[in-house]
């Protein structure tokens, strides 16, 4: 039981560090799986720094055309300061070359929306 509690705590802390907010909705089977595996086991592993994991995740969610995940991880990367808006634009160009311009256009639209939101705050 202590291992499960520690794993859940580590997952919740890592999620908040990566995404910049507590996991929500807490307690659902899906969010518990994300917290206890994705964030407690994968994101918390040694071997890659947080910035590298952010780039890999961004490439994957953009390739999957998952708009909620794209927005979530782009916002978290920008808010953390790990990735600048200029780096994000270069990423989108590079991504477009290898994954296709329609997918990159979606990412570009989401980035534009995030940057406008940040400018209006």
| pLDDT of res. 28 | 87
Nearest to 43 by CA among 26, 64, 27, 19: 19
Distance CA 67, CA 105 (A): 12
What CATH code is carried by the domain that includes residue 93? Answer: 1.20.1290.10
Given a cut of 60, is residue 93 above it in pLDDT?
yes
Check if the beta carbon of residue 20 is closer than 8 Å to that of residue 79: yes
Domain around 89: 50-119
The helix (run of H) or strand (run of E) holding residue 22 is: none
Give this prediction's pTM.
Answer: 0.90
> Do 64 and 113 lie in a common domain?
yes
pLDDT (mean) for 94-117: 98
> Do 66 and 108 lie in a common domain?
yes
Q: Mean pLDDT, the chain, as a whole number? A: 94
> Do 19 and 75 lie in a common domain?
no
> Do 99 and 60 lie in a common domain?
yes
Distance CA 15, CA 25 (A): 13
> Do 56 and 80 lie in a common domain?
yes
> Do 78 and 108 lie in a common domain?
yes
Residue-wise pLDDT for 42-73, tens only, equals 999 999 999 999 999 999 999 999 999 999 99
């Amino acid at each position: 039981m202590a291992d499960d509690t520690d794993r859940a705590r580590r997952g919740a802390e890592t999620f908040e560090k990566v995404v910049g907010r507590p996991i929500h909705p807490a307690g659902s089977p899906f969010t518990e799986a994300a917290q206890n595996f994705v964030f407690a086991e994968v994101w918390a592993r040694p071997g890659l720094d947080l910035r590298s994991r952010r780039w890999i995740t961004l490439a994957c969610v953009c390739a999957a055309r998952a708009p909620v995940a794209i927005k979530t991880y782009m916002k978290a990367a920008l808010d953390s300061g790990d990735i600048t808006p200029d780096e994000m634009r270069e990423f989108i160009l590079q991504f477009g070359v290898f994954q296709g311009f329609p997918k990159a256009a979606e990412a570009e639209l989401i980035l534009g929306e995030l940057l406008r939101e940040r400018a209006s705050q």
